[in-house]
Amino acid sequence: MSLVDDLAAAGLTGRGGAAFSTAVKLRAARDHGAALIVNACDGEIGAAKDGFVVEHHLDELLHGAALVAGRNRGTRFAAHRGSRTAALLAAAGVDVLEAPDRYVSSEETSLVSLAQGGLARPMTKRRPFVTGGRDADGRTVRPTVVLNAETVWRIAQVDAFGPTWFRSFGTEAEPGPRLVTLAGAVAHPGVLETEAGVPFADLLTACGADPDAEHVVVGGLGGALLGVPDARECRWSSADLARLGASVGPGVVDVLDPARCPLDTVGRFLDHAAGETAGQCGPCMFGVPSLAAAWHRLTERPSGAAADEMRRVAGLLPGRGACRFPDGVSRFAGSALRTLEPHLAAHAAGPCPTQEVGAGVRRA
């Protein structure tokens, strides 16, 4: 079988968050002679798995890139400017596409724009850029395929060990080994190799999550805030996490510090998002900062009206930007509003329950 056939049989999907079929993407790339960009930016908050692949599996990554590129020359490896990952790639002698260290700069179309002489800002697609053509503003776009670093590494593994080996990990719907970054209030932060279908509780145990932790962010700014008890009842798969409004996404699990008010932590996430906009479309320039401001108004004076306003602003963001960044932030904010409803009610009735606990012996 061809490499595309092997990838289709393996069921490999992108590990950057979208989980799109790698075989379909590679077939289109070959049909249109697309250039390859390997995205090793770790653009999500807390993400570290791209850097892990570059540092520990560079030879396999380069082999995977060669398999994808075939006879096409000019493969580029994207990494944030000044990062350790960029330095490691440069030392390996590959062509490094250095992206600004901003959230949306590592988005797929931002990297395509940067590689073709533009700014590292998202472009609105008329059709997938793997086919080339023009963007919504009429700019010519050469055929380009962007694949996450872990995805390219997995391509090399499928080539070396075959689809049957790959499918011996994970679930029928989400096959293969996969990396997850474990961060936050944990004793052992870092990157863990795991697979879809394992109990979420096993991930928390593996990283030594704070036993008093009550909340966890799955998927970063484009993900969801979950209660730890609910998360523990799930398995690490998009199919199972979907019942909580979450997915595996880019593979980031951030355990929130139980000594800090979760409303404040969510506010920090949203403030960060507001500062990371590309500054070129309304939902990003105005919508995300407005969402952060609405959250702060809600947490300062919790009320039904403030919660309704939060939902209204969040509802204005999805489907209107040049990229999916506003959609993801809206989804994250909505999950926080649902999960932290009891905490908001406690704030409305009296002092912050987290601060009350913080005044006790354990965290004195």
For residue 83, count CB atoms less than 10 angstroms from its CB and return exposed for 0-12, middle for 13-18, buried for 19 or more: buried
Spell out a b/e string for 135-167, using b for 16 or more CB atoms within 10 Å of the CB, else e. beeeeebebbbbbbbbbbbbbbbbbeeebeebb
Q: Do residues 210 and 241 make contact, with C-beta atoms less than 8 angstroms apart?
A: no
Q: CATH class for domain 3-165?
A: alpha beta
Determine the pLDDT at residue 177.
98
The pTM of the full predicted model, rounded to 2 decimals, is 0.92
Q: Which pLDDT score, from 0 to 100, does residue 146 have?
A: 96
What pLDDT is attached to residue 355?
Answer: 65
- Tens of each residue's pLDDT in the chain, 364 residues: 799 999 999 999 999 888 899 999 999 999 999 999 999 999 898 999 999 999 999 999 999 999 999 877 789 999 999 999 999 999 999 999 999 998 889 999 999 999 999 999 888 877 788 988 777 777 788 999 999 999 999 999 999 999 999 999 999 999 999 999 999 999 999 999 999 999 999 999 999 999 999 999 999 999 999 999 999 999 999 999 999 999 999 999 999 999 999 999 999 999 999 988 777 787 788 889 999 999 999 999 888 899 999 899 888 888 877 788 889 999 999 999 999 999 999 888 888 888 654 433 332 2
Largest CA distance in the chain: 66
> Dihedral through CA 332, CA 337, CA 339, CA 342, nearest 10?
160
First-to-last CA distance in the chain?
Answer: 63
> What pLDDT is recorded for position 38?
98
- Three-state SS across 293-319? HHHHHHHHCCCHHHHHHHHHHHHCCCC
Domain residue ranges of the chain, discontinuous segments joined by +: 3-165, 169-255, 262-358
Q: What kind of architecture, by CATH, is found in domain 169-255?
A: Roll (3.10)
Per-residue pLDDT, 359: 37
Handedness of CA 99, 104, 109, 110 (dihedral sign): negative
Query: Which CATH number is 262-358's, of 3.40.30.10, 1.20.1440.230, 3.20.20.140, 3.40.50.300?
Result: 1.20.1440.230
C-alpha–C-alpha distance, residues 231 and 266, integer Å = 18
Give the whole-angstrom CA distance, residue 249 versus residue 13.
11
Listing DSSP states for 103-124 in one string gives GGGGSHHHHHHHHTTS-S----
User: How many angstroms separate the Cα of 299 from the Cα of each of 247, 256, 325?
Assistant: 26, 17, 23
How many other CB atoms are found less than 10 A from the CB of residue 87? 13
